[in-house]
């Protein structure tokens, strides 16, 4: 049963992270050079048009960190044990997908290629730690309330 729960948690975390990153790219209409919302069909042409726009890739790093943190929080909230480890798994999978993006589409600047390693793991770890700290505080409160009642 835990396997199914953990698998669902990872899928939910990846979905949330992907949704935040996708919607984050759509925030600025001047960046969108295509009519229909089909990010995977137009991604190569879009990256080619943004090749010299460092602000876009900086924002993409920021929104990737934010998405990975929220995805890590969602995953850590769903899993029962090893909350930080599963949150880091979200970062690993997102890093793998970003590396595939860099390999398939060679239009990313060098600072972005280097910075994704410094973005996905730390931010997913932070997401897991947020949930872990919240759960530890709840447990401490619960224990102190039981002691006070006795």
- Mean pLDDT of successive 10-residue stretches along the chain, which has 150 residues: 92 95 80 60 75 84 94 94 93 93 88 90 93 92 82
**Hey, what are 116's tokens?**
């994704």
Contact between residue 124 and residue 94 where contact means Cβ atoms under 8 Å apart: yes
Contact between residue 86 and residue 74 where contact means Cβ atoms under 8 Å apart: no
Would you state the pLDDT for residue 127? 93
Q: What is the DSSP letter of 27?
A: T
Would you state the pLDDT for residue 108? 87
How many whole angstroms separate alpha carbon 79 and alpha carbon 91?
16
Would you state the pLDDT for residue 36? 57
Taking the CA atoms of residue 10, residue 27, residue 114 and residue 52 in that order, the dihedral angle to the nearest 10 degrees is 150
- Report the candidate in 78, 71, 69 with the shortest Cα–Cα distance to residue 9: 78
Q: At what angle do helices 83-104 and 110-149 cross, to 10 degrees?
A: 170
End-to-end Cα, the chain, rounded Å: 36
How many whole angstroms separate alpha carbon 88 and alpha carbon 12?
14
Instruction: Provide the whole-model pTM.
Output: 0.85
Would you state the pLDDT for residue 27? 80
Would you state the pLDDT for residue 52? 78
From residue 55, alpha-carbon distances to 36, 44, 110, 112 in Å are: 23, 18, 14, 11
From residue 101, alpha-carbon distances to 78, 106, 128 in Å are: 28, 8, 25
Q: At what angle do helices 2-25 and 83-104 cross, to 10 degrees?
A: 50
Would you state the pLDDT for residue 34? 59
């Amino acid at each position: 049963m835990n396997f199914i729960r953990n698998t669902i948690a990872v899928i939910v975390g990846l979905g949330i992270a992907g949704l935040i990153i996708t919607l984050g790219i759509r925030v600025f209409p001047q960046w969108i050079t295509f009519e229909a919302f089909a990010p995977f069909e137009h991604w190569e042409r879009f990256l080619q048009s943004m090749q010299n726009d460092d602000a876009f890739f900086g924002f993409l790093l920021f929104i990737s960190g934010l998405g990975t943190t929220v995805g890590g929080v969602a995953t850590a909230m769903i899993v029962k044990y090893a909350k930080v480890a599963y949150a880091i798994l979200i970062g690993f999978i997102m890093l793998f997908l970003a590396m595939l993006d860099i390999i398939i589409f060679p239009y990313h600047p060098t600072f972005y290629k280097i910075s994704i390693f410094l973005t996905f793991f730390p931010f997913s770890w932070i997401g897991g730690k947020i949930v872990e700290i919240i759960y530890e505080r709840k447990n401490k409160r619960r224990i102190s309330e039981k002691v006070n009642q006795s």
